[in-house]
Structure 1
Amino acid sequence: MEGLGRRISASPRPCSGRRVLARKRVRPDGFLNSVKKLQRREISSKRDRAFNISNAQERFRNMQLVEEYDTHDPKGHCPLVLPFLMKRTKVIEIVSASDIVFALAHSGVCAAFSRETNKRICFLNVSPDEVIRSLFYNKNNDSLITVSVYASDNFSSLKCRSTRIEYIKRGKPDGGFALFESESLKWPGFVEFDDVNGKVLTYSAQDSIYKVFDLKNYTMLYSISDKHVQEIKISPGIMLLIFDRSSSHVPLKILSIEDGTVLKAFYHLLHRNKKVDFIEQFNEKLLVKQENENLQILDVRNAQLMEVSRTEFMTPSAFIFLYENQLFLTFRNRTVAVWNFRGELVTSFEDHLLWHPDCNTNNIYITSDQDLIISYCKAESEDQWMEGNAGSINVSSILTGKCLAKINTTSGSSNVDECSSSVGPVVSSKKLKQSSQIRTTVAEALEDITSLFYDEDRNEIYTGNRHGLVHVWSN
Structure 2
Amino acid sequence: MLCQCNCFFITSSFLNFPNHSRYVRRGQPDAGFPLFESESLKWPGFVEFDDVNGRVLTYSAQDSTYKVFDLKNYTLLYLVSDKNVQEIKISPGIMLLIYARTSSSVPLKILSIDDGTVLKSFSHLLHRNKKVDFIEQFNEKLLVKQEGENLQILDVRNFQLTEVSRTEFMTPSAFIFLHELQLFLTFRNRAVSVWNFRGELVTSFEDHLLWHPDCNTNNIYITSDQDLIISYCKADSTDSTSEENAGSINISSILSGKCLAKINTGNSNACKERKKAWKFRNTVSEALEDITALYYDEDRDEIYTGNRHGLVHVWSS
Same fold (TM over 0.5): yes
* CA displacement at 1:381 relative to structure 2: 3.0
Q: How does 1:450-469 map to 2 (within 5 A)?
A: 450-469=292-311
Match of 1:213 among 63, 69, 94: 69
Cα distance, 1:193–1:100 mapped onto 2, change above 3 Å: closer
Aligned residues: 314
Match of 2:257 among 379, 401, 408: 401
1:95–1:453 contact (8 Å) kept in structure 2: no
- Aligned partner of 1:290 in structure 2 is 146
> Larger radius of gyration, structure 1 or 2?
1
Amino acid at match of 2:174: A
Match of 1:358 among 214, 219, 235: 214
Counterpart-to-counterpart distance in 2, 1:323 and 1:179: 28
Match of 2:290 among 441, 444, 448: 448
Secondary structure, counterpart of 2:24 in structure 1: strand
Counterpart-to-counterpart distance in 1, 2:290 and 2:212: 10
Q: Deviations over 1:219-254 (max 9, x none)?
A: 433332322111111111111111100111001111
Q: Deviations over 1:192-241 (max 9, x none)?
A: 33332233333333333333333344443333232211111111111111
* CA displacement at 1:402 relative to structure 2: 0.7
Counterpart-to-counterpart distance in 2, 1:231 and 1:333: 24
- Aligned partner of 2:24 in structure 1 is 113
* CA displacement at 1:455 relative to structure 2: 1.1
Match of 1:191 among 47, 67, 71: 47
Counterpart-to-counterpart distance in 2, 1:444 and 1:187: 31
Counterpart-to-counterpart distance in 1, 2:273 and 2:304: 15
Q: How does 1:197-346 map to 2 (within 5 A)?
A: 197-346=53-202
TM-score scaled by structure 1?
0.59
1:234–1:240 contact (8 Å) kept in structure 2: yes
- Aligned partner of 1:155 in structure 2 is none
2:235–2:264 contact (8 Å) kept in structure 1: no
Counterpart-to-counterpart distance in 2, 1:450 and 1:186: 20
Counterpart-to-counterpart distance in 2, 1:402 and 1:234: 30
Cα distance, 1:296–1:434 mapped onto 2, change above 3 Å: closer
Amino acid at match of 2:315: W
Gaps of 5+ in 2: none
Range that drifts further, 396-405 or 361-370: 361-370
Residue 98 in 1 paired to residue 18 in 2? yes
Q: Deviations over 1:119-157 (max 9, x none)?
A: 43x341xxxxxxxxxxxxxxxxxxxxxxxxxxxxxxxxx
Q: Deviations over 1:275-318 (max 9, x none)?
A: 11100000000000111111000000000001101110000111
Cα distance, 1:278–1:180 mapped onto 2, change above 3 Å: same
1:298–1:304 contact (8 Å) kept in structure 2: yes
2:243–2:285 contact (8 Å) kept in structure 1: no
Amino acid at match of 1:286: L
Gaps of 5+ in 1: 1-5, 23-37, 42-93, 103-111, 125-167, 411-426
Q: How does 1:369-448 map to 2 (within 5 A)?
A: 369-381=225-237, 388-410=244-266, 427-428=267-268, 439-448=281-290
Secondary structure, counterpart of 1:390 in structure 2: coil
Q: Deviations over 1:14-36 (max 9, x none)?
A: 67xx9x9x9xxxxxxxxxxxxxx
Counterpart-to-counterpart distance in 2, 1:433 and 1:248: 56
- Aligned partner of 1:67 in structure 2 is none
Counterpart-to-counterpart distance in 2, 1:276 and 1:434: 45
Q: Percent identity, aligned pairs only?
A: 74
Amino acid at match of 2:150: N
TM-score scaled by structure 2?
0.86
1:388–1:447 contact (8 Å) kept in structure 2: no
1:378–1:385 contact (8 Å) kept in structure 2: no
Counterpart-to-counterpart distance in 2, 1:383 and 1:459: 26
